[in-house]
Structure 1
Amino acid sequence: MSNWKLSKALSLEMIQLKEKVARFSSSSPFQNLEIIATLGVGGFGRVELVKVKNENVAFAMKCIRKKHIVDTKQQEHVYSEKRILEELCSPFIVKLYRTFKDNKYVYMLLEACLGGELWSILRDRGSFDEPTSKFCVACVTEAFDYLHRLGIIYRDLKPENLILDAEGYLKLVDFGFAKKIGSGQKTWTFCGTPEYVAPEVILNKGHDFSVDFWSLGILVYELLTGNPPFSGVDQMMTYSLILKGIEKMDFPRKITRRPEDLIRRLCRQNPTERLGNLKNGINDIKKHRWLNGFNWEGLKARSLPSPLQRELKGPIDHSYFDKYPPEKGMPPDELSGWDKDF
């Protein structure tokens, strides 16, 4: 299937699913949906695998405790995630179909990607070989290409935020730190995961799209070795290692010459010198020697077999996710009304 036909088919499928869930009650989604299993838990709440009652159609439902959002002052981040995801339609980014709210939670009804989380596969294998790492890096590069064209920086790349769909293709999830900025603009919010944070964020110098290229370099290193390059006993130690830079670092033997060159070019201390941020933009990454011969067209057309594809028995097979106990008790009501436009 050509890229154009594929994107048309994706858009059509998304529209059909959006129309289906548009009829659901905005304040009681579980009238129409039943919970099958928990896919993940976090400080914010839970992600549940849900299916439409009496139909073989499944989604992932992110259930975010409203009291937790207010207590941690995350209202703007949650709205930002909603607004940004509503705008996106890419095969490399998880799709948002609908939002709901009640007195206790706000909900995001998302595409169910049941191939599992990249970090759990990496944890089980220890590290990836070069062909597998290239496939992962290519999926992320395509996602960044799409986002940056729309003026969106992602700012939270890490294996935990990459999930596999039924074909074993990677998708970015969790857009709580994503932000829209204009060309040539900078932003100053301190955010991200310590091991993946770029030096200009730590130094509060203002940052732009180049922080995503830095984090891509960190990801390449982690995929090939199982660990990020900068990791201290605590956050401050990690930050001081990042500020020392990758230039003086010796790489393990596991990383061969070409991926080492890519990592070093992506992780330049000066953002203006980073690969991806030069005059040819993201094409410099796609044309790097390590990715020489990679089938980008096959990836975009989804005809390239994924080295990470796993067998799924159907649209509610959650066997590639860890098991979680049911939620204990209900969170308190939160009635301040901050979520009125949700």
Structure 2
Amino acid sequence: MNPDAIDITHFELERIIGQGGFGKVYACRKKSDKGKLNDKDQWYAIKKLEKDFILKSKTGVDSVFTELNSVRDLIHKNICCCQYGFLSDDAVYIVLDIAFGGDLRYALKQSKLKNATTKLKCFDEDRSKFYLAQLLDALDYCHQCQVLHRDIKPENMLIVTNGYLKLTDFGISMKQDNIEDCKARSGTMGYMAPEIIMAGCNHGKPSEWFSVGVCTHEFLLGLRPYDAKKLAKCRAGIDDDLISELKLKELESSKLTDPAKDFVSSLIHLKTEGRLGAANGSADLRGHDFFKGFDFEAVKNQTMKAPFLPDINVANCDTGSNDAEEMFGGMEDEKKISFTPEQQAKFNGYGYNTEIS
């Protein structure tokens, strides 16, 4: 540890607020006023990623640098902004805006509403619009900054204390001068647009709108529109047989309003041509009848009452087999793993806002 730099010892770890294959996210409080931000007692989220796990993945090191380099330059109320980034001997840490309410995947699981057609837990149209309006604001800002998120899904949308939303996890985002000319295939199957799946095809902002459509389908019906294995057939191209195979049966037979059905089906159009948003970006989505009469300004100014307020006194994530002591007992001790100098060197240059002034 560098005594002249911000590190994990400057934070009091309180409890787990999220976890997944990448590691765990902890609610923490800044213990000191050291650093540039004058932020003693400020609450943050710390994402801890074990170096051992990172090094086992071919893209792991690139991913942690990508997330830090992308998110530290993004400052928006609907994005989990980066405040610090630092290393320890065994782990990588990124300190972000806190979101005590968990992610929208967990919120869907906890929803008391079930869709009449699918019998699965879902959100109503008003609650879906509330989250989607904020997602559009976040994505507009990202696109203005020449950033494609590339992994839009419920797990990456977090609920903060006032019920509003923040987009997170920029680990596979792409920042380049022309974001309509992205060639790297990346994302989560089931949410990835066909043009990303197809080998050699460029993709850009329309691919993000496809993912928004998948999420909207999931919000309203409780499941994704396309089976991931069937969607993977897009690698060979899109023909009439595949379009027929990927017919939107649940959406078409549902009792959703006609504008909602059209909004979703227009977003998850398999071909970029004709997809909602391909012509005029988010303006096409905001101008759709699905949002007729919706007060976007009230959401942007956060004067609209949130349809759901999280209980911040509980762990709003799946706790699995973890007991209360693990969930609320702070961060576990670091694993004592020996890394070679060459392995440690892969993390050289990782850090943000660590200077003590």
Alignment TM-score, normalising by the size of structure 2? 0.80
1:256 aligns with 2:257: yes
Could you tell me how far 1:255 is from its partner in structure 2? 2.5
Look up the equivalent residue of 1:58 and give its one-letter code.
W
Report 1 or 2 for greater relative contact order, CA contacts < 8 Å, sequence distance ≥ 6: 2
What is the SS of the residue equivalent to 1:297? helix
Counterparts of 1:287 and 1:307 in 2: how far apart (Å)? Answer: 22
Note closer, same or farther for the CA distance 1:83–1:169 as it changes in structure 2 (3 Å cut): same
Asked whether the equivalents of residues 26 and 99 of structure 1 are also in contact (C-alpha less than 8 Å), the reply is no
Alignment TM-score, normalising by the size of structure 1? 0.84
Corresponding residue for 2:114? none
Asked whether the equivalents of residues 60 and 111 of structure 1 are also in contact (C-alpha less than 8 Å), the reply is yes
Corresponding residue for 1:66? 51
Alignment map for 1:228-247 (pairs within 5 Å): 228-231=224-227, 235-240=228-233, 244-245=242-243
Corresponding residue for 2:30? 52
Corresponding residue for 2:83? 97
Counterparts of 1:229 and 1:138 in 2: how far apart (Å)? Answer: 21
Alignment map for 1:171-320 (pairs within 5 Å): 171-183=166-178, 185-204=180-199, 205-231=201-227, 235-240=228-233, 244-245=242-243, 248-250=247-249, 251=251, 252-278=253-279, 280-312=280-312, 317-320=313-316
1:146 aligns with 2:141: yes
Counterparts of 1:237 and 1:267 in 2: how far apart (Å)? Answer: 14
Counterparts of 1:136 and 1:186 in 2: how far apart (Å)? Answer: 28
Q: Which shifted more, 283-292 or 301-310?
A: 301-310
Counterparts of 1:331 and 1:160 in 2: how far apart (Å)? Answer: 30
Q: Could you give the per-residue CA deviations for residues 35-71 of structure 1, whole angstroms, max 9, x where no partner exists?
A: 1111222222211111123754211101111122122
**Corresponding residue pairs, total:** 311
Look up the equivalent residue of 2:262 and give its one-letter code.
D
Q: Could you give the per-residue CA deviations for residues 111-139 of structure 1, whole angstroms, max 9, x where no partner exists?
A: 11112221111012211111001111111
1:339 aligns with 2:347: yes
Counterparts of 1:62 and 1:305 in 2: how far apart (Å)? Answer: 29
Asked whether the equivalents of residues 67 and 333 of structure 1 are also in contact (C-alpha less than 8 Å), the reply is no
Q: Could you give the per-residue CA deviations for residues 183-238 of structure 1, whole angstroms, max 9, x where no partner exists?
A: 3642222221111111111112221111100001111110001111112xxx5344
Equivalent pairs: percent with the same residue?
A: 27
Match of 2:15 among 16, 24, 37: 37
Corresponding residue for 1:116? 102
Counterparts of 2:3 and 2:202 in 1: how far apart (Å)? Answer: 42
